[in-house]
Amino acid sequence: MRDYAAAGGHVILRAPPSNFRTLGFVEEVEIEALCALGVPVIDDVGSGVLDDHVELLAGEPPVRRSVRAGAAVVCFSGDKLLGGPQAGIMVGTHEAIAACRRHPLARAVRIDKLCLAALHATLALYRDPERALREIPVLRMLLDDPAPLAERLAAATGGSVVEATAKVGGGALPLLELPGAVVALPGEPEALAARLRAADPPVIGRIADGRLLLDPRTLADDEVELVACALR
């Protein structure tokens, strides 16, 4: 905190890590303390967590906390954990956002109308948190039990259901591990993985312990048969 106070300047930019974490004898200055310094703070929170009540998302900084703390501008992704189209979002004070809109680069980096419509539809779902958890794919994939899909996928492909651990990826929650059911396929894993990548549609698995694993966590119900067709 003394380093920030001694640095002076007209604005503070905080950019937390996204796909890594520093552990051990390290300390992070909380956003409330930074805003208390009296200098405008730009807080880049990265992954766009809008639901503060999902326990699995506790490892990422929530957008609302930075807004409540008084950050002048809070920046976050429209995709990643928010679950919308790829975009960058800025929220903050009227004065700060108005200054951003006047900047010559604002026109160059604005999103198109289709992305804007998709982003609007995604954000509207967050007005009903329970509906958001059901209908936003990334949140549903984080919270749903993959076992039922794994059973269907194993039956359709001739594989076997085993337990494994998945990672979120995509620049968010680097320490979170998601245990769950996956499907182990018989056969030589390297050759099978290469053939599946070239299939139509392509199927991407991962190799662990000498087996090719298919993780159904990111599959929709109607995609199980597509995977089975590609494997056949």
Confidence category of residue 16, pLDDT binned at 50, 70, 90: confident
Q: What is the 3-state secondary structure (H, E, C) of 186-211?
A: CCCHHHHHHHHHCCCCCCCCEEECCE
Torsion of CA 163, 150, 174, 25, to 10 degrees: -20
In percent, how much of the chain has pLDDT > 70? 100
For 65-86, the pLDDT digits (tens) are 999 999 999 999 999 999 999 9
Torsion of CA 174, 180, 182, 188, to 10 degrees: 60
Higher pLDDT, 163 or 59: 163
Q: Is the peptide bond before 201 cis (omega within 30 degrees of 0)?
A: yes
List the alpha helices (DSSP H) in the chain. 2-7, 31-35, 63-69, 94-102, 105-109, 113-125, 129-135, 137-143, 147-157, 189-197, 224-231
User: Which residues make Cβ contacts (< 8 Å) with residue 106, sequence separation at least 6?
Assistant: 100
**Can you list the domains of the chain with their CATH numbers?**
2-136 (3.40.640.10), 144-231 (3.90.1150.180)
Confidence category of residue 9, pLDDT binned at 50, 70, 90: confident
Q: Judge whether residue 178 has pLDDT over 80.
A: yes
Q: At CA 77, angle to CA 76 and CA 81, rounded to 5? A: 105
**pLDDT for 4:** 80
Confidence category of residue 136, pLDDT binned at 50, 70, 90: very high
* Average pLDDT value for the chain: 92
Over residues 194-215, mean pLDDT: 93
- Structure pTM? 0.85
Q: Which DSSP letter does residue 49 get? A: B
Exposure string over 128-164, b if 16+ CB within 10 A, otherwise e: eeeebbeebebbebbeeebeebbebbbebbebebeeb
Amino acid residing at 159: G
Q: Please choose, from the candidates 194, 196, 214, 104, the residue with its C-alpha nearest in 3D space to the C-alpha of residue 149.
A: 214
Q: Judge whether residue 119 has pLDDT over 80.
A: yes
For 142-170, the pLDDT digits (tens) are 999 999 999 999 999 899 999 999 988 87
Measured distance CA(100)–CA(90) in Å, rounded: 9
Q: Please choose, from the candidates 203, 202, 197, the residue with its C-alpha nearest in 3D space to the C-alpha of residue 183.
A: 203
